[in-house]
A and B are shown apart, each in its own frame.
Chain A
Amino acid sequence: MERVLLAKLGLDGHDRGLRVLARELTTRGVEVILLGLGTDAEVVVRSAVAEDVDVIAVSLLSGSHMTLVPDVLRIVADEGADIPVVCGGLIPRADAEALRVAGAAGVAAVGTSLEQAARLIIDVAEASHRRRSGAGATKP
């Protein structure tokens, strides 16, 4: 089973979307670790490593994504953690492209539906899970 870490990154308290997404992923058979509010890049990456998740998914509605998402990517690289990072929220398309170039495995830009966001995370998680459980391993 794929494991996903979901977190609000930064100070933003609007977590309706993230909580609904958590439920959507759970109903689709994904194991969700919901870290909730009040995290920063360091907390998110440490938790992801400790929980051995297949993907980190962070939500930001406060406009701080161009600072905080690269923080997460940098710490993942520093830690040598093999965990892809997906982000979503109030992210304009131009920023979404820049974040993909910076190394985000996926960006659910503003206007992404719940179903599309869930699909994006599951696709990244499945690929990560296969890779992390060794070449040739099949998806359960």
Chain B
Amino acid sequence: MTQDAGQVGVYPFRRGHSERPFSEAPWSIGQYTGFSDPADTNTRLRDLLRHDNQSIGIALDLPTQLGLNPDHPHARGEVGRVGVSIASVDDLEALLADIPLDSVQSISTTANSIGPMMLGLFLALSRRRGVDPSSFVLRLQNDVLKEHAARGTQIFAVEHGVKLTIDVIEYCAANIPTWTPICISGYHMRDAGGTRAQELGFTLANTREYLRRSAERGVSVSDLAPTISWFLSAGVEVLHEAAKMRAARELWATMLHDEFGVRTDKALKVHLSTYTLGGELSPYEITNNAVRVGLAALGAVLGGVQRLTCSAIDEAIGLPTSETALLSIRTQQIILQETSVGDVVDPLGGSVFVEGLTTALVDEARLIAQSVEERGGALNAIASGWVREQIDESAWQSQLERSATPRVGEAGATADDVDAPSANLTAHYESERRERFVEWKARRQRGPLDAAVSRLDEGVRSNQNLVDLMADVFEADGTIGEVVDVLVGHYELAPERQMRRAIGPSSHLAPVATT
């Protein structure tokens, strides 16, 4: 049985953006990696690039994401753990050594609260390498609203965080419109327990907030829209997830058309960047996760996404190995080259079941976005805690379902059934990184750096766009931590960051360098 579902390549694009199938124009295959030292990650990156990986995604460690240098007392125990430690242009140079920036499709990072700092670092790196920034493609996540709602790396109060996000958007729109200044992310709200409809609805509401604020700065929404991505999760429920991607296209197109007056097709087609959902992976019998990731990837492909990254099957128990990292790429290559699913656009279009799911998701997501609007928009709805309450309630419901219906291989399993992780950081990594960093800092010339920091401080006072001023600080060997410290002097911190700042470094702990 079939149902009329509109045409491929025609507004509102539920059935896809273009009549060209993936077999002619493949989706972009991403890979997310990063750990310990810039040099270690560089080795892994170059290894992955040898296997026809087309673009790289850099995982940053938590101190970096929170604007803390590796020698900050609050970085203790966290340096290089969940990603690579980056503080300066020298670090970025080491991370990307022997990788010409224009040799990869794109470079992406999980810089959110430090979005403008990461942009500034890449500008400084371009100047240092003598390359035109427009010769390569940088993709910044740069979405602080979802940090406050679900992901947890907010530094500043949401109003100030959003100011910085919009600085990046404004800067890129004016200077480097080929870069992606923001990937508005539903993924993390889903991984925090939200439903598919909440993932879409809150992403829609956050998009509305960012577009309005960008327009207030004079940025053309029609010019900006084609440079933005949505970042969504891909779970294992193949048909539901494919329907979600179809609904996402329709939601974006109709909102931009109806509310922002956008009329160009290019701007009405959302770029869907996707990542298989980490929360779907089991710590038990981890080989089973290869099947889960494969099915999640299939759902995303059937849904017609522009970009896909696959989880490593062992990430539920520790840091991925080079073998499991390669499997993430191979999974996509197998789907692309061996399954023929990419020979046709929107193969599920017209299925009564999938069209019904798609319509239901569109309707429910619009209602959720409307509820956000009634609470004063995304910024207010998030700052008040309402969005997180909604996600928490869904997380509780899904926990009840999971307890009643365990996944395959999980019934009766305990921590004793979990394999030991095969990859691990060396115990001395953090102290080595810290010592090298402290030595490096001491070797810097203070004059140019102090001058650049003063100009940044003045820029913050006069509420300027801070991107170029930050790039100047980085070019003078300033660090992310030093830039954040300037802002901390003027901006309100997020409530989550106030407790420790109030107490200061612990008097109970031995100096960190002796660890």
Contacts and interface: CB of A to CB of B under 8 A. Distances in A.
Contacts of B316: 90, 110
Given A16-B395, A109-B418, 17 more contacts: A13-B151, A13-B153, A16-B279, A20-B399, A36-B496, A38-B500, A46-B503, A62-B81, A67-B515, A78-B508, A90-B317, A92-B420, A92-B421, A110-B283, A111-B283, A116-B414, A116-B415
A41 interface: yes
A12 interface: yes
Contacts of A96: 415
B415 A19 contact: no
B318 interface: yes
A77 to B, nearest CB: 10
Interface residues of B, number: 52
A49 interface: no
B496 A42 contact: no
A96 B418 CA distance: 12
A36 B385 CA distance: 13
Nearest to A8: B152
A128 interface: no
Contact of B508 (A24, A42, A94): A42
A114 interface: yes
Contacts of B10: none
A43 interface: yes
Interface stretch (A50-58, A68-76, A132-140): A68-76
Contact of A15 (B152, B399, B414, B515): B152
Contacts of B257: none
Interface of B: 62-63, 65-66, 68, 74-78, 81-82, 147, 151-153, 191-193, 279, 283-284, 316-319, 392, 395-396, 399, 403, 413-418, 420-421, 425, 430, 496-500, 503, 506-509, 515
Nearest to B416: A93
B326 to A, nearest CB: 22
Interface residues of A, number: 45
Nearest to A14: B152
Contacts of B318: 63, 90, 92
Interface in A85-129: 90, 92-94, 96, 108-116
A21 to B, nearest CB: 9
A9 to B, nearest CB: 9
B505 to A, nearest CB: 9
User: Top 10 closest A-B pairs, CB basis?
Assistant: A13-B152, A67-B77, A64-B77, A111-B418, A11-B62, A38-B496, A109-B415, A111-B415, A63-B81, A42-B506
A38 B415 contact: no
Contacts of B279: 16
A20 B395 contact: yes
A38 B497 contact: yes
